A and B are shown apart, each in its own frame.
Chain A
Amino acid sequence: MPGSHAGNRAIIDVLSATATRPAVTYRYAGDRFILVEYGEMVLDLTTNFRIFGLNDALKKAGLDGLIETVPALRSMLLHYDSRRLPTRELVATLKKLEETVPAGENLNIPSRRVELPIAFGDRWTRADIERYVKYTRQDAPNIVDGHNIEYIARYNGLRNVQEVVDYVCATEWWNACIGFWPGLPFMFPLDPRYAIVTPKYNPTRPWTPEGAVGIGGPCVAIYPVESPGGYQLFGRTIPVFDLKQRNPAFRANPILLKPADRIQWVPVTDEQLESTRERVHAGTYRYTIVGYEALNVKSYLGFLEGIKPEVAAFQRRQAEAVKHVAIP
């Protein structure tokens, strides 16, 4: 509760909101971690950008005793050695850093652009969805014609599967954080005119192929390995995790994506995807990663301002569509 944390023993300190930044709450997470939260519990990419601003500032400050940071949607977890860096000192430094982190619109966030091929409605995800119908739930409303992609279209008021493809490829996807499983990205559309949403599976799906791409709520994820899952699937891509590190993209570690990456989807056929995947494993495929681009928040916010009516129009279309669609 920003501003009224007296008596809240979980909260270390609070910075009230200013004209240029949301309130900041510092919470205990044991004696080796603290959680820094921004603003209220709302999903807002500009808050996520600020997390990366703080992350950058922290890296530059090179605090002795700070072990690692974990950026997430509206918060950042800090792992530190309280023997070298006492908690109070860390929080005092963080508060001071807030004065140096540029206000949202003056931020430039280092960001890589990553192009990934995707086969929409591919045969691999189709096979696991068919198994779900056979063994888990026969009458799942989120499965139409043996896949989730038509359901995604209906839930968002899109005309057909092709329009889902167009929407997913019309925007870059911002990787706000990675986690839950090694290398699993949580991605959000940078262009909200194409912000599709869906409810999750019920019950969850026991199988999902490695490389499957799905959406749950507003968030798109790539499954790094074969696993259970709850997101509505719409396609399959190339590996984003490779234990055996068979491709140069995995030389440093088996995880391809980083927080603050922007993903651009490039549609391909099942056959093209299969041969690309083979080249990934053979080590001959070169991932398309542009490393030098930065996201300029000011121009991004300007862009958002200009598309407001279109965003509102799509949201109305979605709200109308949801009325006629069953929830799993």
Chain B
Amino acid sequence: MFEVLEGGIQTTVQDYPGRVGYLDLGTYPAGPMDHFAFRIANLLVGNPQGAPALEVTAGGLKARFHDSRAVAITGADMQPTLNGTPAPLWETFAVGPDDLLELKFVKGAGLRAYLAASGAFDVPEYMGSRATFTVGGFGGFEGRGLKKGDRVRLKPAGAPAGQVGRRLRTDRRPQHGTHWEIEAMRGPQADPDYLTAEDMDFFFSHPWKVDRNSNRMGVRLESHKWQWARKSGGVAGGHPSNILDNGYAVWTVNVSGDQPIILVADGPSLGGFICNATLIYASSWKVGQLMPGRDTIRFKEVTIDEATALAASIDEAISERSIERR
């Protein structure tokens, strides 16, 4: 049992890869915004990588454990404490009955921390996944963020001793900063048919400020006066960003009027605006750590071959080979 004393800004149960297979029925996958930190947390405590764990956004979580577990916290540094004593990041530690775990509000780089416990959080499966879909209010724990008084069940787990002291190798730890470089591929709708080459040059060189109004649906960037390669959207609408509705890839950059929005975990599956670039699998975790109103992004264009090579290297990083013992 995991007893929530304070839920924080937004703490949700997620699993990976989330609710996959329902895009044609209008449902984005949900799941962790930073899948790298999420999967590492599970690996550290000996769970399958995709097992249900907590995503803590911006911090403020306070909770009590009712039994013995191996626990790992990864992602942004929220100065976690166990009974008031600093607890490590990216490293497994043991908790016991009545232990109080606290994550403060994030001060430095990054936005989201992940908390995995051995055995994993036990919430009902909904449409094949245990991930919380905040827009539809389903999945996870009652389809919502955790709040004071919630008691989340955990599945039975063995003694924590075997996992304690497992940690992510220092050279495999992601560097969180406030200025991010995020790899992306051009398209599906870019230059020369929708935007001009100058528009795309600007897109791939400008340091984009992350808008305050960003969440698990979309990470909004600042508005920009695009040149556009066409005068209007024709049959699809008056604005040149309008197209006949099409499916939106997860992690695509949607240009809605003048504003680019990265569509993320709980985003819309379909819509009538162009998407000029799409993040790749290996870089997508970074959007989970972007602090709204503070961080900036520079998109780095990669080819499909570069994306494939980066995918292999992140998969290699999310494996036992990255784990060492203290």
Chain A residues near B (Cβ < 8 Å): 1, 7-11, 27-35, 37, 41-43, 67-77, 79, 82-83, 86-87, 177-184, 186, 225, 243, 253-255, 258-259
**When the two chains form the complex, which single residue of B23, B26, B138, B244 contacts A68, counting CB atoms closer than 8 Å?**
B23
Pair B189/A8 contact, Cβ less than 8 Å: no
Q: List 15 A–B pairs whose Cβ atoms lie within 8 Å, in order of A's numbering.
A: A8-B190, A9-B187, A31-B185, A31-B281, A68-B20, A72-B245, A72-B246, A77-B23, A77-B247, A77-B248, A79-B20, A82-B311, A87-B304, A186-B270, A258-B24
Interface string of B299-312 (1 = CB under 8 A from A): 00000100110011
The answer on a CB contact under 8 Å between B275 and A29 is: yes
Check if A181 sits within 8 Å of B22, measured CB to CB.
Answer: no
> B189 contacts A186, CB within 8 Å?
no
Q: Which of B262-280 contact A (CB under 8 A)?
A: 268-271, 275, 278-280
In the complex, which residues of chain B have a beta carbon less than 8 angstroms from the beta carbon of A7? 192
CA gap between A138 and B92 in the complex, in Å: 60
- The distance in angstroms between the C-alpha atoms of A258 and B27, with both chains bound, is 12
Place the interface of chain B in its size category: 35 or more
- The complex places the Cα of A37 from the Cα of B187 at a distance, in Å, of 13
Please, which residues of chain B bring their CB within 8 A of the CB of A182?
Answer: 22, 25-27, 136
* A67 partner, pick from B21, B252, B308, B312, beta carbons under 8 A: B21
Q: How far is the CB of A257 from chain B (nearest CB, A)?
A: 8
Cβ-defined contact, B270 with A179, below 8 A: yes
Q: Does B236 contact A (CB under 8 A)?
A: yes
Interface centre among A8, A182, A186, by most chain B C-beta atoms within 10 angstroms, is: A182
B193 within 8 A of A: yes
**Min C-beta distance of B259 to chain A, whole Å:** 16
Known: A179-B268, A180-B26. A29 touches B187 (CB 8 A): yes
Chain B 21-37 interface 0/1 with A at a Cβ cutoff of 8 Å (1 = within): 11111110000000000
Known: A30-B251, A70-B247. A253 touches B187 (CB 8 A): no
> In whole angstroms, how far apart are the Cα atoms of A7 and B190 in the complex?
12
Q: Whole-angstrom distance from the CB of B319 to the nearest CB of chain A?
A: 14
Q: Give the docked Cα–Cα distance between A74 and B245 (Å).
A: 8
Contact in complex: B127, A10 (CB < 8 Å):
no
Contacts of B25 in A (CB 8 A): 178, 182-183, 253, 255, 258
Report whether B26 and A183 are in contact in the complex, using a CB–CB cutoff of 8 Å: yes
In the complex, which residue of chain A has the Cβ closest to the Cβ of B236?
A41
CB distance from A31 to the nearest CB of B (A): 4
Which B residues are in CB contact (< 8 Å) with A86?
Answer: 308
Our pick among B24, B275, B281 for the contact of A32 (Cβ within 8 Å) is B281
**Cross-chain contact B23 with A29 (CB below 8 angstroms):** no
Contact A180/B304 with A70-B247, A77-B246, A243-B137 known, Cβ cut-off 8 Å: no
